[in-house]
Structure 1
Amino acid sequence: MARIKPQALLQQSKKKKGPARISVSTIILFSLIVVLAVFFLHSTYRYWSQRSRIQIEDKESVFKGDDSFLDSKKSDLPGYAVLETAKGSITVELFKDSSPEVVDQFLDLCQRGHFNGMLFRHVIKHYVIQAGDSDKLGAAEDWTSKGKNYNRLYTSLKHEAFMLGTSKTKHDNGAFEIFITTAPIPDLNEKLTVFGKIVKGEDIVQEIEEVDTDEHYRPKSSIAIRRVTLKQSI
């Protein structure tokens, strides 16, 4: 059997060696690259997520700011009106939340002195008193027969006495009628837009409704609203 020369053995041993080992420095460098890449991705994600959250919070704060502005604007409006008459003063709490449009119109007319000197045109005893620009009975005309047959034991919040309202009939000339109920009215909400309630001066309202009237429910002696004073609180 032929003997293999030493040089041939050396060459065969070199051919049988495995792949070269990766150095420790290479592993460390690769690990640092991976860590940096993960850190960069995480930082990018946090940046964009925080930016989106801030934008959402800014939008919400804007909306809340608008609401608070509207609420503050509403709270700045007078909440009470004092109707000064020849018989005395009648204090009304205005329903700013439930009847905002009518209250706004009423406040505007008060500031322009629209109600100064306005007469109580009609007085229906134990039912309603009406002040306004028109001498027509209007919304109260068909209430009298219903009121006489009305069972006073049946009452609810919307049928209360001493409520302040105005006719739902539209007026082209900008007239504004005032109705103050002196007894529960069964179909009050069908006839009037209620925008306030008497909180002081019910005795004055009752005194007005006791005046003598003619067959058309017009007071024989004139009673007027001298002026209206607006107040934030009482």
Structure 2
Amino acid sequence: MIRKLIIFSLIISSFTSCNRVSKDDSHYIKINTDKGDIIIKLYNQTPKHRDNFLKLSNENFFNGQIFHRIINNFVVQGGDPSTIIAKPDSLYGNKDSGYLIDAEIIDSLIHKKGAVGMAREGDDINPEKKSSGSQFYLVKGKVYTNEQLDDLENKRDSKNKNNLYKKLLQEKISSLKNQKKVDTVSISLNVSIAIDSIWEKYPKYKFTEKQRKIYTTIGGIPHLDGNYTVFGEIVEGQNIVDELSSVNTDKNDRPLKDIKFNISVVK
């Protein structure tokens, strides 16, 4: 009798899982690990990232790779093809599919717990925020207080103000490039004096009510919003990500014991 109940329960569970995947027009992929499967819904709002991930998955691009970067309460990251033949104690994360994807950053698609995003190079060499062609991350994150979110808003504004200062300074210096001598000290001082009145007219960064509700309850990584493309979310297996997030790692955030994975298209 117990065996029959277990089998029946497994059938119901399987049916529920399949029904959840098939009841909309979204595409789904499955990440298979030794610890269990993770089912991810790919957003139709980010078609370039969706189609690229489906293409790579169908080509078995990810199969045999390892999660080369795991940071507790932050992310689980993979997508470096060189990790298929990973060597002990080696640093990975510098390789990908060999091309970039145009950013598809959408305000409503945020870094809540369970979100899936694409890694990228920093703004200094990638100001357009283009995504890596294959390196992705699964969001674990953490729960924030409203006071912590206030602090993140202030930090974002400070960074934006500093970037505006650099832009204005560079524009001013460039406009005087034909002069024999340019007094950069005086120019810098004048821009510094003018920046406050200019900054007052700029809109300040504010988390929406939706973001605040999610980050103070479910959690996530709010400071990544607006900087990286979120192209999907975990619909099953978040507990697997939670477990992976807590594994022991070395000084480069690589797990001490390799965690291999395969990715296939479910729908």
| TM-score range relative to shorter protein | 0.5 to 0.7
The one-letter amino acid paired with 2:29 is A
Among residues 135, 140, 143, which one is paired with 1:177 in the alignment? 135
Deviations 1:9-49 (A, max 9, x none): xxxxxxxxxxxxxxxxxxxxxxxxxxxxxxxxxxxxxxxxx
Aligned to 1:115, the other structure's residue is in SS state coil
Aligned to 1:158, the other structure's residue is in SS state coil
**Does 202-211 or 174-183 show the bigger shift?**
174-183
Alignment of 1:46-61 (within 5 A): none
Deviations 1:121-151 (A, max 9, x none): 011001111112161389xxxxxxxxxxxxx
Deviations 1:164-191 (A, max 9, x none): 1112447xxx851010010111222344
Among residues 191, 196, 199, which one is paired with 2:232 in the alignment? 196
CA distance in 2, matches of 1:85, 1:207: 12
Among residues 202, 205, 222, which one is paired with 2:258 in the alignment? 222
Q: Is the 8 A contact 1:120 1:223 kept in 2?
A: yes
Aligned to 1:216, the other structure's residue is in SS state coil
CA distance in 2, matches of 1:87, 1:205: 9
Q: Is the 8 A contact 1:123 1:217 kept in 2?
A: yes
Among residues 92, 97, 100, which one is paired with 2:40 in the alignment? 92
Aligned to 2:67, the other structure's residue is in SS state strand
Q: Is the 8 A contact 2:113 2:139 kept in 1?
A: yes
Aligned to 1:229, the other structure's residue is in SS state strand
CA distance in 2, matches of 1:178, 1:127: 13
Among residues 56, 63, 69, which one is paired with 1:116 in the alignment? 63
Aligned to 1:218, the other structure's residue is in SS state coil
Q: 1:230, CA displacement in angstroms?
A: 1.4
Q: So what's the TM-score if we normalise by structure 1?
A: 0.53
Among residues 75, 87, 110, which one is paired with 1:158 in the alignment? 110
Q: 1:202, CA displacement in angstroms?
A: 0.6
Alignment of 1:24-173 (within 5 A): 79-96=27-44, 98-133=45-80, 135-136=92-93, 158-169=110-121
Between 1 and 2, higher relative CO (CA 8 Å, sep ≥ 6) is seen in 2
Structure 2 counterpart of 1:11: none
The one-letter amino acid paired with 1:192 is Y
Aligned to 2:229, the other structure's residue is in SS state strand
Aligned to 1:103, the other structure's residue is in SS state helix
Q: Is the 8 A contact 1:168 1:193 kept in 2?
A: no
CA distance in 2, matches of 1:94, 1:107: 9
Aligned to 2:222, the other structure's residue is in SS state coil
Structure 1 counterpart of 2:101: none
Structure 2 counterpart of 1:3: none
The one-letter amino acid paired with 2:250 is D
Mapped pair 1:211 → 2:211 = no
The one-letter amino acid paired with 1:80 is Y
Q: What runs of 5+ residues in structure 1 fail to find an aligned partner?
A: 1-75, 139-155
Q: 1:216, CA displacement in angstroms?
A: 1.5
Structure 2 counterpart of 1:231: 266
Q: Is the 8 A contact 1:78 1:231 kept in 2?
A: no
Q: 1:87, CA displacement in angstroms?
A: 1.1
Structure 2 counterpart of 1:151: none
Q: So what's the TM-score if we normalise by structure 2?
A: 0.47
**Identical aligned residues as a percent:** 33
Structure 2 counterpart of 1:41: none
